[in-house]
Amino acid sequence: MGILKTSIYVQPATEPVSLSELKTQLNQNSGTLVDNTTLYTSISAISHPITVGYTLLGTAIDVLGHSAVCYVSPTSVGAGGTVDVRITECDTIAGAYTPWAGSAFVQISAAAGNTTTRQEQAYTGTKAYIRLESKTLVAACVFGCEIMVYEPVTTEDSMMLEDITTARLEVENDLGRKLISQTIDYYPSDWPKDDRIKIPYGNLISVTSVSWKNTAGTETTLTPTTDYLVETNGEQCGFVVLPWSTSWPSGSLYPSNPIKIRFVCGWASASAVPSNIKRAIKNRAVNLYMNRGDDIVGQTVHEDVTYRRVLNSCNRLHDNDFL
């Protein structure tokens, strides 16, 4: 078995477990309700004109790992006018938002008698971002939409965030896979004898580039589809594969890291990471938080059995011979 040579080119943009989720696990919050809640405006409280469909799009708010309540506050409805509001959700702030199941508020209208009645609805979905969208029919109407997010703060937030990252790295090491989207550079020492190169860590999302250097250090980047194909294979290891009737480059290779494959792997969002893996991260982070490296005198130190039990329920990648 050869040595797997990789480096992280782009770190994960987020963690599978949020600070709020760890605090819930620890039952560790501080401050008053006022300190720990933030009211965000999604749609400004002004007169909104008639729209065609749900084209009045509110500001997206990050709610991952937090409790959130959405509000619609009407002030007046024009003659015959109606207002419909819904909650939409997405894993990324600039992605394609879709309606959250059961998210429609009661239609605002004179007929319904709720032209100045504030409505509220708790968001219990799993996406990272939500926004309120509305449509106004027949006449202009005055209303606004807000999102209240419960995001408690403690004086140890920075340390807890470090514990989450450390716990995620430990779980990645124990499982042999990357858990959340990140860009990796992989350095095979030679071209394989068969038609494929196994890509480590599972959950291959995409291959950014495949390049190689000759003995003079000149780097050549291969062309996707023409020089290689990509096989993702879901949660298992993906492959870079030769197309039919082609071969790997035949030039002499540079003596140090002659081949570089840059790829993106891991689950695409925190909500997509399996719950048992997230539980393992939280268990490990709790242990790191509670045991801060102090010397223990006169006590027996036990292995973190709960973490191991949860980890055993996760899908390990056992094959580490990636050369």
44-53, 234-243, 299-308: least confidently modelled range? 299-308
Give the integer Cα–Cα distance in Å for 180 and 182: 6
Helix (H, G, I), strand (E, B) or coil at 233: coil
Average pLDDT, integer, range 243-263: 95
Helix (H, G, I), strand (E, B) or coil at 220: strand
62-66, 84-88, 120-124, 213-217: least confidently modelled range? 62-66
Give the integer Cα–Cα distance in Å for 98 and 304: 41
Phi-psi sector, 258: left (phi>0), alpha (psi -120 to 50), beta: alpha
Tens digits of residue pLDDT in 101-145: 877 799 999 999 999 999 999 999 889 999 999 999 999 999 999
User: What confidence score (pLDDT) does residue 312 get?
Assistant: 79
- What the chain holds in terms of domains, given with CATH numbers, is 6-22+160-271 (no CATH), 31-150 (2.60.120)
Give the integer Cα–Cα distance in Å for 5 and 185: 9
User: What is the rounded average pLDDT for all residues in the chain?
Assistant: 89
Which segments of the chain are extended strands (E)? 6-10, 37-48, 56-57, 61-62, 67-77, 82-90, 98-99, 108-109, 119-123, 129-137, 141-150, 182-186, 196-199, 204-213, 219-221, 229-231, 238-241, 259-265
Phi-psi sector, 293: left (phi>0), alpha (psi -120 to 50), beta: left
Torsions phi, psi of 227, nearest 5? -95, -25
Instruction: List, in order, residues 6 or more apart from 68 with CB less than 8 Å away.
Output: 61, 122, 123, 130, 147, 148, 149, 150
Tens digits of residue pLDDT in 138-185: 999 999 999 999 877 666 788 888 999 999 999 999 999 999 999 999
Q: Give yes or no for residue 259 having a pLDDT over 90.
A: yes
The percent of residues in the chain predicted with pLDDT above 90, rounded, is 71
User: What confidence score (pLDDT) does residue 1 get?
Assistant: 46
DSSP-assigned letters across all residues of 94-151: TS--EEPTT-PPPPEETTTT-TT--EEEEE----SEEEEEEEEESS-EEEEEEEEEE-
Average pLDDT, integer, range 76-104: 93
209 contacts 241 by C-beta, under 8 angstroms? no
27-31, 157-161, 249-253: least confidently modelled range? 27-31
User: What confidence score (pLDDT) does residue 40 get?
Assistant: 97
Q: Give yes or no for residue 49 having a pLDDT over 90.
A: yes
45 contacts 118 by C-beta, under 8 angstroms? no
